[in-house]
Structure 1
């Protein structure tokens, strides 16, 4: 039975020019390169310049994704932008990106699921495309987490950075088998009872301020591996596939220890895991498309490869996307 699959046509990413190494951070807070690398795998993070907003990063990543797909903004019907650090309380940063791209048709909106944002945005776009409400979608993850960090809190400021990544999806007729190119299945979850473990202590309704990121690191780590494996196993059940069938595992780039533990629990070989956290830290919703773009451009991910995306973020939110590139 034929059906519509959301097929990836291209990808792109952008990291701000400014970056902060672990040694530089050690002059700001009580930490060291050895301490950070041993516990997180992070070696540096990129920091947006003064006057460089989330929308600026998103536009640059979007243009690179469009170039990769051989398309122009006029060819896109919808934009879904995942971010927890919007330019403004409103309007959605997606409409700013839409305007900067010179796109005055279709529709654009933000999705807010923190580090799971890109997975949630991809699942959202996939459903619009399968429903026939759009033909092509630009899915973006973009963050300027440096703006919400407490730079005196060594437990959080060493972890996060800024960046953006994007993919272009197109609805295409497919045979309806797991051999199809495109998104095969998506699985999303949330549980608000864990809010206090990872949150920002501000907001327009509560404190009328932006606030700072707060995290109970040990608690997040404890829950992460189990939650991640949950939605990946759901993807296997839905498709009849398993870890041995994967060509690539592209997880949220939060912490190398979480990535390694998740892959080991799922029986995914280390050489199938795409890891870029060392080069940009945790960029929240931007981390998966940043890793994807890196692996596509260096030739690892090729057309026809089976790719698993997964993430967990504040809320808690978590989810998976299984797709054939």
Structure 2
């Protein structure tokens, strides 16, 4: 699947994020560390901190928390005219549905389209921009709300059988919401967007337990990601290649040299990826905002959280071109989108 934005681009009106109050230092995982053969792998060099969702805090709860900032900035009626609601949860509370309908109901809005986007992984924010733009341009309305939640760090990776593994210290929890439109000239336009699907790699990301079981079966083994040295080598090779490739593709499309981009905002899986990606685009550290040590790997939430942080502290200014790029899972999906930031309304 290849996709490119068409004329009458979708634009970002604003975004807001939420990080749970509970901050967990790396020492929490260090006390449980096992003799894991993957402990020294560059993929698993732990961030200093990460946030964990509170017990019982759901994906919808976290998205609602993120929207409070939007209401504070724009008023209580800011979302009343939303026509499309898209949500992505890393760990849906109910396997057969997402939380889009619940989110819309709790916000008191009546969108014409509600869609739970279960794939896209770490690139889901870009994928959701693509979907929202297509729906809005096709006559589905003029305003879309995107909601994303990363909620498995405190639920999956603190389990007794999982917290001692090298992989456990990397993820963090958080949420983000964004509002898009197709008819607001004051909003921040998406200048170009590309998404690519690589189905041949889909089977390389697996959930495992000891003793083995399917994720929906009862059993004593606690589920975690089935990493091996071989799989990690494949993920590193694919991720190192895919993110720069799709970012350069969009940069070429919009006529900007990658080295001339004002900002490069990516997913945040590990320090080694962050370094390799900015070196591939010949960008200095100062143009590649990084929230890894404060938040860990936020998966799909990483791009909006990092983008929001750089906007809020004044690094990203009006007129700046921001390239957002990510890859997902073991390399089965990649996406990039370039935006010209127009400032907050």
* TM over 0.5, shorter chain: yes
Query: What pairs with 1:12-161 in structure 2 (closer than 5 Å)?
Result: 12-30=16-34, 40=45, 42-70=47-75, 72-112=78-118, 113-146=120-153, 147-149=155-157, 151-161=162-172
Name the structure with the higher helix share.
1
Judged with a 3 Å threshold, the aligned counterparts in structure 2 of structure 1 residues 24 and 98 are, in CA distance, closer, same or farther, namely: same
Q: Which runs of 5+ in 2 are unaligned?
A: 1-5
Partner of 1:177: none
User: Which sits farther off after the overlay, 59-68 or 108-117?
Assistant: 59-68
Rounded Cα–Cα distance in structure 2 between residues aligned with 1:201 and 1:74:
43
Partner of 1:320: 336
Structure 1 segments of 4 or more deviating over 4 A? 34-39
2:226 pairs, out of 204, 210, 214, with 214
Contact 1:143 1:162 in 2 (8 A): yes
Contact 2:18 2:65 in 1 (8 A): yes
Rounded Cα–Cα distance in structure 2 between residues aligned with 1:288 and 1:99:
26
Contact 2:29 2:164 in 1 (8 A): no
Contact 1:12 1:64 in 2 (8 A): yes
SS of 1:290's equivalent?
A: helix
Q: How many residues align?
A: 316
Judged with a 3 Å threshold, the aligned counterparts in structure 2 of structure 1 residues 57 and 198 are, in CA distance, closer, same or farther, namely: same
Q: What's the CA shift for 1:257?
A: 1.5
Over residues 292-320 of structure 1, what are the superposed CA-to-partner deviations in whole Å (9 max), with x where a residue is unaligned? 11111111122221001111111521111
Contact 2:123 2:328 in 1 (8 A): yes
Rounded Cα–Cα distance in structure 2 between residues aligned with 1:217 and 1:90:
30
